[in-house]
Amino acid sequence: MAGRDSRLPIAIGVAVVLSIAIAIGFVCVTDEDPPERAVAGTPLDGCTTIETPGRYTLRSNVTDVADQTCLRITADDVILEGGDHRIGGQGTFGTAGVLVGGFNTPLENVTVRNLTVTDWDDGIRYLRVTNGSVTATRTADNRIGITVLRTNHSRLVSNDASSNTVYGIALQEHSTNNSLINNRATENTLFGIELVANASNNRLVSNQLSRNEHGLAIIGVDNTTVVNTTARENRIAGIWSSESDGTTLVNNTVSNRFYGIYLGDQTNANRLVANRATDNNVGLRLLHSSNNLLAGNVATNNRIEGILLLASDNTVLRENQLRANGQDLVTARSNNTTRHRSRPPTNRTWSFEPPRRS
């Protein structure tokens, strides 16, 4: 974790220090390919352990499985093609529908795709995997839809993790430098997507998070980048960050019951740029969080406050558009707030450089 007293270098003349060009309301991210569908491979007709590299294709549904795991992968260089079939368990604690890797089995280059997984503790679990991929899966009625543990440089793309009893997607235990792109997480009991336990340096792009307790929860992790994500109709907050430094939130849309974006509990040195917060109780709320930059955000039609700063020092507010809120801006017990009142036109271009990936 970065030190809690870290300082974001901000001056009154700050030009919102940055280098991908974004217009307010637009960020272009096009480095991800659409899901690929395999048409051949070693056929699978039931639960098994895959111990040899290659392509494997599930040929039928496998349901009401009482085993600890249905499909276990212990080899590098594997593609598991689900063929849009379903693996169903019995909801037993500690089980996993698909288990890739293990504490003593680090793996590389494993892909799981086009598969539905229901009624397990973890629907899909990646443990100690590098350069892995989970693509176009559906996970529902599990405790957690997709769990990623100690996994690095991997991609979760176009998955639907919905109606799980705790989280839709969880990155935990030092899972770093991963990308979550175009995933949908809805109606999970707690979090749509959770990043926790030093799961730092991850990137989230174009995800849709709705009707969870919190859409996205970032807890005790640093240097997360969230771009073009939509969080709507979540019961508490669209994006909630706690004890997490160096987070970059750009061009996200948030409309939720209580908070659009909530930074709390020593969440310092973060950048919120060109986000749109509408129809929340509070659009952007900072609590006990210092040295943050809010630039070019639009907060409109929020019922209580557009921006609320509570015990949050050294905040720079630059060219945010605040309209038709209960109160546009409220500060309390917050020192050294720098305000730039100008309101840019909607085509104003910002320059922005996200955290570099190693």
Instruction: Write the pLDDT tens digit of every residue in 59-72.
Output: 999 999 999 999 99
- Are 273 and 295 in contact by the 8 Å Cβ rule? The answer is yes
Residue 280 predicted with pLDDT over 80 = yes
CATH superfamily of 51-352: Single-stranded right-handed beta-helix, Pectin lyase-like (2.160.20.10)
Residue 8: the pLDDT is: 44
What is the reported pLDDT for 265?
Answer: 85
pLDDT at 33: 52
Average pLDDT, the chain: 87
Query: Stretch 192-214: mean pLDDT, rounded?
Result: 96
Is the pTM for the entire model greater than 0.75? Answer: yes
Tell me what pLDDT residue 41 has: 87
Confidence of residue 166 (pLDDT cuts 50, 70, 90): very high
Q: What is the pLDDT of residue 351?
A: 36
Domain range list for the chain: 51-352
Q: Which residue carries 């009142």 as its tokens?
A: 341
Confidence of residue 18 (pLDDT cuts 50, 70, 90): very low
**Is the predicted pLDDT of residue 100 greater than 90, yes or no?**
yes
For 31-51, the pLDDT digits (tens) are 555 445 545 789 999 999 999
- Residue 36's pLDDT is 53
What average pLDDT does this structure show over 244-266? 94
pLDDT value of residue 137: 98
pLDDT at position 253 is 97
CA dihedral sign, ordered 11, 15, 17, 22: positive
Nearest alpha-carbon partner for 82 in 170, 160, 165, 179: 160
pLDDT greater than 70 at residue 84: yes
Range in 53-57, 236-240, 308-312, 354-358 with the lowest mean pLDDT: 354-358
Q: Which of 120-124, 192-196, 272-276, 338-342 has the lowest mean pLDDT?
A: 338-342
| The predicted structure's pLDDT at residue 233 | 97
What are the tokens at 86? 């379903």
pLDDT band, very low/low/confident/very high, at 27 (cuts 50, 70, 90): very low
Which pLDDT score, from 0 to 100, does residue 154 have? Answer: 98
Q: What is the pLDDT of residue 126?
A: 98
- pLDDT value at residue 16: 44
- Over its C-alpha atoms, the chain yields an Rg (Å, rounded) of 21
Is 256 within 8 Å of 231 (Cβ atoms)? yes
More confident residue, 5 or 80: 80
Mean pLDDT of 66-80: 97
Q: What is the pLDDT of residue 3?
A: 44
Residue 350 has pLDDT above 50, yes or no: no
Whole-number pLDDT of residue 37: 52
* Residue 292 near residue 271, CB atoms below 8 Å: yes
Give the separation between CA 54 and CA 6, rounded to whole angstroms.
47
pLDDT in tens, 120-146: 999 999 999 999 999 999 999 999 999
105: pLDDT strictly greater than 80? yes
How far apart are the C-alpha atoms of 348 and 174, rounded to whole Å? Answer: 38
Q: What is the pLDDT of residue 341?
A: 62
| pLDDT reported for residue 348 | 40
Q: How far apart (Å, rounded) are the C-alpha atoms in residues 55 and 196?
A: 32
Q: What is the Cα–Cα distance from 292 to 16, expressed in whole angstroms?
A: 12
